[in-house]
Structure 1
Amino acid sequence: MREVVICSPLRTPVGRMGGALAPVSAHSLATSVLEALRARTGIDPAAIDGVVAAQGYPTMEAPAIGRVAALDAGFPVTTTGYQLDRRCGSGLQAVLNAAMEVQTGVADAVIALGVESMSNAPLYTVEGRRGVAGAGLMLHDALARGRETVGGRRFPTPEGNVGSAELLRAGYGVSREAQDAFALRSHRMAVAAQQSGAFDAELVPVEVPARRGTVTVDRDEHPRADTTLEALAALRPILGRADAEATVTAGNSSGQNDAAAACIVTTQARAAELGLAPMLRLVSWAVAGNDPLRFGVAPVPAADRALARAGIRFADLDVIELNEAFAVQVLACLADWGLDADDARLNPRGSGISIGHPIAATGIRMLTTLAHELPALDGELALQTMCIGGGQALAAVFARV
């Protein structure tokens, strides 16, 4: 099969839930990042065969959002597009789907897009189509409901992802202090990257409607420079009322966020023809499944498989990007791998706890960051992996070009 390279990864800033990007729909975020990709690369839009888009909380305002966003961003009607959902791994899956199209010769250049506006996740009903009976309609919160139903009927997760994280805490004996310390590390890494300008090259400013004109958002909103161990320790565990030993808090968990990210997936030869400068080469990838109640450690088998397929070891890696769904989940994975929480290769610029976790955008956000980290750190090989609610994980090995 043909070798695949990643070109021009870009992302919007990551907004907090209900924060600076809340007035902007997922559709608009997706369109903005595609427009920026066109502008920065100068690529002829007719050269793009299709847009593979990831979104975890869609509405029918932009069905098959890859196609709709492409059309609205000025791509021709010959540019195809669709939408996928593998929950927290959706963005990376979009890259991998695009890669498989290119590897097999189905396409020559495909854009992978990930977008999420958790601030605008829908409230929905499944009861009103045949009329309203009784006292009224039940509206479900898509965010909460998705976490409860993701394991299906046979593997219920009534306490959502937080309950699963607490099971890992008990099973791995991870203390509250260790979780808070890791959360603080994440924020310090992200804040340092912000202050040094390390994120500047990967960011696409977003124009947000305001009362008087527009406001430009050009900075991640989630990292907290004022976070301390004392402040983290003061937060109450989310499940504290039901479990006196609970330790998972809003402070040592990932955020609920808004963002979009995109990249061009193609071959070396086609990149040269289009005037693109590849940043990464896809080496290998793997997916794994496990018990939905222990989904946080699914990156262990996924990463092990991806590394084995590439014929490399953890010792060969220069960067390890492991999404921080929860601090306890990261620490459990590290324990299985025999890695230290202070390993300098791990999330050198922060991750989900500090930057945020805009579900379907996260995978390409991580890819964008590691594409810029590798040359800055003079590294050659990187692992990207994340757990996925419902008991899955994705992992991919990338090499610097």
Structure 2
Amino acid sequence: MTELREAVVCAPVRTPVGRFGGALAPLTALDLATRVLTALVERSGLPVDAVDDVIGAQCYPTMEAAPIGRVAALDAGFPVTATGYQLDRRCGSGLQAVLNGAMQVQTGVSDVVVAFGVESMSNAPYYTEEGRRGLPPGALVLHDALSRGRERAGGRFHPTPDGNIGTAETLRREYGIDRERQDRYALQSHQRAVAAQTSGAFDREIVPVEVPGRKGAVTVAADEHPRADTSLEVLAKLRPALGRSDPDATVTAGNASGQNDAAAACVVTTPERAAELGLTPVLRLVSWAVAGVEPERFGIGPVPASNRALARAGLTFDDLDVIELNEAFAVQVLACLAEWGVDDDDPRLNPRGSGISIGHPLAATGVRMLATLSHELADLGGRYALETMCIGGGQGLAAVFERA
């Protein structure tokens, strides 16, 4: 093979995003992944026997579905010929699943790949590494996977004992970003997400999920996290998470992303194979890049990653019609914007909200953002979109897409 084939994205869909311990909490990550894969097939008409590989992203797995890419595919009725695997690049996992699928398609390894991301943070495990060797003296300690993952993503030499919040406060000090500016950005995110909900803009990308309950099944069809009732006054009353140890702390539950539950999926293939299968491409992958930064200031990771992806595409920020950034923290977004020279209220930036308002179900976020931006580009009549996110442990991931 002398040249890479073109990779396109078809039929991106997602479940609603549930709050931590909210409406989707009774469902496991496997339940959510199986539902979104089933809906993908139903909506697109994709023949499952045409699928070569299924790539599943998940950051907080258990061994109930290992690897979840393969298990979810089988549970969704895919044939045994559709292979599958699981990956973890923390917050970039969902987008990385799409990019891995694109590389397999571009190189001819696969013709049709289904990529998905899923997270049930409400059901993230507690675990021990000691129990198999017998009970240790004193007590058997269970670790919380959610907090443990944030504290140890930088390894032995880059510990982050205050988790991701501590790294966000590092950027606050470095860039001089005050609390009011962070709260104002958070409010903007919620306002944009609520406006999108009210207009029905999310309806095309969301697949309703049936959740069993004691009083019967309930259908969840809308994101739970956006707050129509929030305001600057409400946000200002929230206490900073690290306020006891840092009197200047500014990061609160209101100006940070949520812990959430969701799944999202799409088909990655060539334009020619899409036509043969009756699929309609919505996006074409133009370029992508990953970059490493200090784990202690991981929120700035989108800057070098985006700069590289745009340079490889021969584009600048002026060429973009949509900029989708994952919104781990308001301060993290504002630090990146300062480096890019983009205004806080730029209408291209997360036009329908992002992690602060919609929520941040880690491994699902990248594909959720892809589903959202595909409709944003079409509705705006735009051509190019940038999707980028910071990654716990000190990475940034970015991809440039063109409307197909």
| TM more than 0.5 | yes
Question: Is 1:163 equivalent to 2:175 in the alignment?
Answer: no
Secondary structure class of the residue paired with 1:98: helix
Residue 96 of structure 1 is matched in structure 2 by: 99
Distance 1:66 1:137 in 2: 32
Secondary structure class of the residue paired with 1:276: coil
Question: Is 1:173 equivalent to 2:176 in the alignment?
Answer: yes
1:14 alignment partner, one of 9, 13, 17: 17
- Across the aligned residues of Structure 1 and Structure 2, the Cα RMSD in angstroms comes to 0.5
Residue 402 of structure 2 is matched in structure 1 by: 399
Q: Write the deviation string for residues 10-63 of structure 1: whole angstroms up to 9, x where unpaired.
A: 000000000000000000000000000111111210001110010000001100
Q: Write the deviation string for residues 186-210 of structure 1: whole angstroms up to 9, x where unpaired.
A: 0000000000000000001001011
Distance 2:319 2:41 in 1: 35
Question: Is 1:388 equivalent to 2:388 in the alignment?
Answer: no
Distance 2:319 2:105 in 1: 27
Q: Write the deviation string for residues 314-358 of structure 1: whole angstroms up to 9, x where unpaired.
A: 000000001100000000000001110010100000000000000
Q: Give the drift of 1:123.
A: 0.3
Distance 1:236 1:43 in 2: 48
Q: Write the deviation string for residues 138-175 of structure 1: whole angstroms up to 9, x where unpaired.
A: 00000000001000001111110000000000000000
Distance 1:310 1:130 in 2: 53
- Within a 5 Å distance, the mapping from 1:355-374 to structure 2 comes to 355-374=358-377
Residue 59 of structure 2 is matched in structure 1 by: 56
Distance 2:192 2:124 in 1: 29
Distance 1:297 1:60 in 2: 33
2:289 alignment partner, one of 286, 295, 300: 286
- Within a 5 Å distance, the mapping from 1:76-87 to structure 2 comes to 76-87=79-90
Residue 352 of structure 1 is matched in structure 2 by: 355
Q: Write the deviation string for residues 291-322 of structure 1: whole angstroms up to 9, x where unpaired.
A: 00111011000000000000011000000001
Distance 2:47 2:288 in 1: 30
Secondary structure class of the residue paired with 1:88: coil
Distance 1:316 1:133 in 2: 59
Distance 1:150 1:231 in 2: 33
Q: Give the drift of 1:117.
A: 0.1
Distance 2:309 2:199 in 1: 32
Q: Give the drift of 1:398.
A: 0.2
Residue 140 of structure 2 is matched in structure 1 by: 137
Secondary structure class of the residue paired with 1:397: strand
Amino acid at match of 1:360: A
Amino acid at match of 2:216: G
Question: Is 1:378 equivalent to 2:381 in the alignment?
Answer: yes
Length-normalised TM-score, structure 1: 1.00
Amino acid at match of 1:275: G
Amino acid at match of 1:397: V
Question: Is 1:249 equivalent to 2:231 in the alignment?
Answer: no
Sequence identity (%):
73
Distance 1:391 1:366 in 2: 21
The runs of 4+ residues in structure 1 deviating greater than 3 Å are none
Q: Give the drift of 1:134.
A: 1.7
Secondary structure class of the residue paired with 1:304: helix
Residue 241 of structure 2 is matched in structure 1 by: 238
Secondary structure class of the residue paired with 1:167: helix
2:26 alignment partner, one of 23, 46, 66: 23
Distance 1:130 1:240 in 2: 40
Residue 154 of structure 1 is matched in structure 2 by: 157
Which structure 2 residue ranges, 5 or more long, are not aligned? none
2:121 alignment partner, one of 118, 121, 141: 118
Question: Is 1:304 equivalent to 2:282 in the alignment?
Answer: no
Distance 1:17 1:327 in 2: 19
Secondary structure class of the residue paired with 2:249: coil
Amino acid at match of 1:15: G
Length-normalised TM-score, structure 2: 0.99
Distance 1:198 1:345 in 2: 16
Amino acid at match of 1:56: C
Residue 268 of structure 2 is matched in structure 1 by: 265
